[in-house]
């Protein structure tokens, strides 16, 4: 598949995209399979483990990949940074270098078709899921997209996580670990094969799918449906959406986030539930997070969309003329 820039953008380098067919097939199979298998394989312990992993891996992405790595909204000691990175990596959505590079491109070219990696202006399938199957000529080569993350490049762990082969190995090992844990946690004194498969389905496979789509909702729903209390860049369609915030730890306050991307807190009002912020606040109270960036009410006020004054009644205008 080839895509050519419009003549108006002739000064920009031509961006070509192609579909990564092997990855697309693997992604679709490992997405559909657990959605079918959960009806045949489920146990109380596997469902509990699913929710625990959803929280731990999900916070690894929201607190770590997003607020810490992409936006440097706070700082933590290296050992904790690596721990958070590993939690996020277990969601199997690529390593921090690729994830952060794509996210920085999203903020830089927000909602510009062909430049923003995921915008609803290129269709719902593309923004929610399809973009992960595409390889863009301007960023696909690691040597190119790594230019977007100079602050993370020195870290050997992040460079190791950046190889696609590492992702596949991590995914297989995660499934194996889930299988073994499920087997060990089932029948007392014996390996419980049924519970092992339940864990494989719920923890190894379904968890990745759930988190992938939760982030898909941020990219799709939070650029289409919801409120826009703050002024953002021209063309930026970001919205605040409570349901997405509840689903993925406060990341649904996306208009707030696009207005103040460096803020560690995205639910800027007391009633805007933001679990990722509560975790950062707890880390700060424990003395583990420092340089936590906040946005003062005065700065917020300056970006608020002001309601337009109501037009004067026509009769009064005519009476003055």
Residues of the shown chain interacting with Zn ion in the complex, contacts defined by CB under 5 A:
238
DSSP output for 163-213: SHHHHHHHHHHHHHHHHHHHHHHSSTTS--HHHHHHHIIIIIIIHHHHHHH
| Of residues 238 and 256, the one with the C-beta less far from Zn ion | 238
| Of residues 238 and 263, the one with the C-beta less far from Zn ion | 238
Alpha helices in 68-109 (DSSP H): 78-89, 96-108
Least distance in angstroms from the C-beta of 108 to Zn ion: 11
Report how far residue 100's alpha carbon sits from residue 180's, in angstroms, rounded to the nearest whole number: 32
| Of residues 175 and 239, the one with the C-beta less far from Zn ion | 239
Classify residue 19 by its DSSP letter: E
Report how far residue 314's alpha carbon sits from residue 297's, in angstroms, rounded to the nearest whole number: 38
| Of residues 195 and 238, the one with the C-beta less far from Zn ion | 238
Least distance in angstroms from the C-beta of 146 to Zn ion: 19
Least distance in angstroms from the C-beta of 200 to Zn ion: 33
Are 186 and 36 in contact, with CB atoms under 8 Å apart? no
Are 275 and 68 in contact, with CB atoms under 8 Å apart? no
Report how far residue 168's alpha carbon sits from residue 191's, in angstroms, rounded to the nearest whole number: 26
Least distance in angstroms from the C-beta of 185 to Zn ion: 37
Residues 6+ apart with CB under 8 A from 2: 16, 17, 18
Residues 6+ apart with CB under 8 A from 216: 127, 128, 129
Report how far residue 235's alpha carbon sits from residue 308's, in angstroms, rounded to the nearest whole number: 20
Residue 180 structure tokens: 């073994």
Least distance in angstroms from the C-beta of 14 to Zn ion: 25
Residue of minimal CB distance from Zn ion? 238
Least distance in angstroms from the C-beta of 90 to Zn ion: 21
Are 260 and 238 in contact, with CB atoms under 8 Å apart? no
| Of residues 195 and 263, the one with the C-beta less far from Zn ion | 263
| Of residues 46 and 238, the one with the C-beta less far from Zn ion | 238
Least distance in angstroms from the C-beta of 138 to Zn ion: 19
| Of residues 45 and 300, the one with the C-beta less far from Zn ion | 300
| Of residues 65 and 89, the one with the C-beta less far from Zn ion | 65
Least distance in angstroms from the C-beta of 173 to Zn ion: 29
């Amino acid at each position: 598949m080839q895509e050519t820039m419009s003549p108006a953008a002739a000064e920009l380098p031509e961006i070509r995209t192609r579909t990564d067919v092997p990855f697309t097939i693997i992604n679709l199979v490992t997405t559909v399979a657990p959605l079918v298998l959960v009806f045949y394989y489920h146990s109380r312990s596997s469902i509990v483990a699913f929710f625990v992993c959803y929280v731990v891996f999900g916070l690894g992405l929201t607190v770590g990949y997003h607020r810490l790595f992409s936006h440097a909204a706070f700082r933590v000691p290296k050992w904790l940074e690596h721990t958070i990175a590993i939690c996020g990596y277990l969601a199997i959505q690529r390593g921090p270098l690729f994830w952060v590079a794509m996210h920085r491109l999203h903020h830089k070219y927000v909602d510009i078709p062909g430049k923003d990696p995921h915008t609803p202006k290129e269709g719902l399938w593309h923004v929610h899921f399809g973009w992960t199957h595409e390889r863009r000529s301007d960023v696909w080569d690691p040597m190119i997209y790594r230019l977007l993350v100079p602050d993370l490049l020195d870290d050997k762990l992040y460079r190791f996580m950046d190889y696609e082969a590492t992702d596949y190995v991590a995914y297989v090992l995660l499934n194996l670990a889930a299988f073994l844990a499920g087997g060990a946690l089932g029948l007392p004194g014996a390996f419980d094969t049924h519970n092992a498969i339940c864990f494989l389905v719920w923890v190894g496979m379904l968890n990745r799918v759930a988190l992938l789509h939760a982030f898909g909702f941020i990219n799709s729903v939070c650029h289409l449906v919801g409120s826009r209390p703050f002024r953002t860049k021209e063309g930026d369609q970001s919205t605040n959406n409570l349901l997405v915030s509840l689903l993925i730890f406060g990341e649904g306050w996306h208009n707030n986030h696009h207005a103040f991307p460096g803020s560690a807190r995205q639910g800027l009002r007391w009633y805007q539930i933001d679990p990722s912020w509560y975790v950062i606040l707890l880390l700060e109270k424990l003395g583990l997070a420092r340089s936590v960036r906040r946005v003062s009410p005065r700065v917020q006020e300056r970006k608020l969309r002001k309601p337009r004054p109501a037009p004067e009644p026509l009769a009064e205008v005519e009476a003055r003329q």
